Amino acid sequence: MVSRNKPIVKNTVVTAKITDINNLGYGVCRVDGQVCFVAGGVTGDDLSLRIIKVARDYLVARIEEMITPSPFRTERACPVSRRCGGCSFDGVDRAHELELKRGFVVQAFRKEGLSPTVEDVVTDGRIFGYRNKLALPVDGGTVGFYGTHSHEIVENGGVCALSSPLIAGPSEFAASLLARSPIPSLRHVFMRSAEGTGRAMLCLVCGDRSEATLSAAKSLAEKVTAKFGQVSGAVLNVNPEQTNVILGKEYVTLTGDGYLEDELCGLKFRIAPGAFYQVNHDMAQLLYKCAAEKAGLAAGESLLDLFCGAGTVGLSMEADLTGCRLTGVEIVPEAVENARHNAAVNGMDRAEFLCADANSVDVGSFDVIALDPPRKGIAPELVERIAASGNKRLVYISCNPATLARDCKLFASRGYTLGTVTPFDLFPRTGHVETVVLMTRTDAGKG
C-alpha cells in the first residue's frame, strides 16, 4: 500500500476495499481520501489496484490482484460484457443489484434536499431475454456493440443475452449474412419485437438510399423474413447525418409491414420503428398499472399525456373508464399517427393527439397530467406552466432518477407534495432504473 505522504500519481499501486457501485457499473472506493472508480469492482472486494488516471477530483484504477472477492460476486453470463459495457451489473448478485438501484433513486432525491419514501424496486424476476429493442452498430461485415467510452465495435455476432428470443435468431442471422456480404452504407441493424403478438420487425439504417443500397437491403430483408416467420416486415431507414442519433427521418418499406403491432395492458398498439415504446413489455405493464393507480383517474375526468409516444400511458390509464377526455402530445409525427390509430382501434373516441413539443405546449386545464419525458427531463418553463394551470395531480414517469429529483424539487417549490416513489427494474443487468411518482397540489402554488 502506498504511503500517505507520497502523492498519488499514474501507475501507483494501492490496496483498497470497494464500498459501492455506481450506475455505470464501476466499483467505488477511496484512496488517500480521494474517490476512485474501478472497472469490475464489486461492493466488498478487497483489491490491489493500479491507478490509471488522476483527475482533479477523482481517480480511476484497474484491478491488479483480487485479494478477497466480494460475497456479491457471481459468474458473468456474457463473454463480451466487460468490453461492451452494456450490462453494468453482469457478475453482480441480483439482490444486490436491486438494492443498488433503489439506492440510486434515494441518493438522487437526497442530492436535491428531498427525502420521499422510496419503495423497494419492483421486478418480475426475469433477468435475460426481456429487451424488445436491439440496435447493433455495423462497420462493414462487423456487427456488435460499441465498447465502453468508444466507437470501436465489440463484435458479438448479433447475439445479446438481454434480447427477446423473438429477435435473437433474426439478428444473429442478419449478422452472419453481413459478415459474408456487407452493405457499404449500412450503419445499424435495428430490431423491435412485440411480446404480446409474437411478432418482430427489422430496420436497416443506412447512410443513403441509392439503388445499390436499396437492392442490397431488400435482399437481406427478404432472406431474414423468409427464414423467420415472426418477422412481419422490414424497413430501410435513411440517416445521412453524422451524429449519435441512430434513426433518420425517412423510411422505405422493404417487405411486409412498415410497423409493428403489439398488445399491452389489454389494448392493441401499432408502433412505428421510431416511436417510443418501453423495451420491457411485461415490466411496462406493471409500471403503467402503478402509474394509473397513482393517477386515480375517475370516469368523466380529463387527462393530459405529455411525451405520449404511441399513446401507451394515456390509453392504458383511460382503458376501463367512461367519459374521459384524453389529450396526448408528442413531437415524433409517426408516433402521433400511431397514437391516433391506437385510440381508434381500441374504441377510445374521446382521445386526441397533437404533434408538438411537449415542453412548449399550452397545458390548459386537466384533472391529471402524465409525464414520461426522455432522460434529460422537462424544461423549467413547463414546470411553471403546469403549476400555473392549477392542475391537482401529476404523475411523473422517469428513466433518470437525477432529472426526476431535479424536476420534483421545482414542482415542490410550486406547491406540489411528493408521494411515495416507486422504482421499477425495466432494465435488469444495466445501470438504469425506471421510477414513477405522484405529485399532488396542496396549496394555491408559489409564484
| Cα-based distances in Å from 119 to 105, 116, 411 | 10, 10, 21
Q: In terms of C-beta density within 10 A (0-12 exposed, 13-18 middle, 19 or more buried), how is residue 376 classed?
A: exposed
Cα 40 from chain centre: 22
Calculate Rg over the CA atoms of the chain.
24
Is-contact 294 396, C-beta < 8 A?
A: no
**φ/ψ (deg, to 5) at 215:** -65, -45
Taken in order 377, 382, 384, 388, the sign of the CA dihedral is: negative
Q: Which three cell numbers stand for residue 432?
A: 438504469
- The catalytic site residues sit at 399
Can you tell me the distance from the alpha carbon of 282 to that of 290, in angstroms, rounded to the nearest whole number?
13
Q: Where are the alpha helices (DSSP H) in 236-299?
A: 281-295
Query: 287: which 3 cell numbers?
Result: 409500471
Taking CA 319 as the corner, what is the angle to CA 346 and CA 398, rounded to the nearest 5 degrees?
Answer: 110
Exposed e or buried b per residue across 342-362, where buried means at least 16 C-beta atoms within 10 angstroms of its C-beta? bbeebebeebebebeebbebe
Kindly give, in sequence order, each residue whose CB lies less than 8 Å from that of residue 294, ignoring residues fewer than 6 positions away: 395, 419, 422, 436, 437, 438
The residues near 74 (Cβ < 8 Å, ≥ 6 apart) are 91, 92, 93, 94
CA atoms within 13 A on the CB side of 234: 26
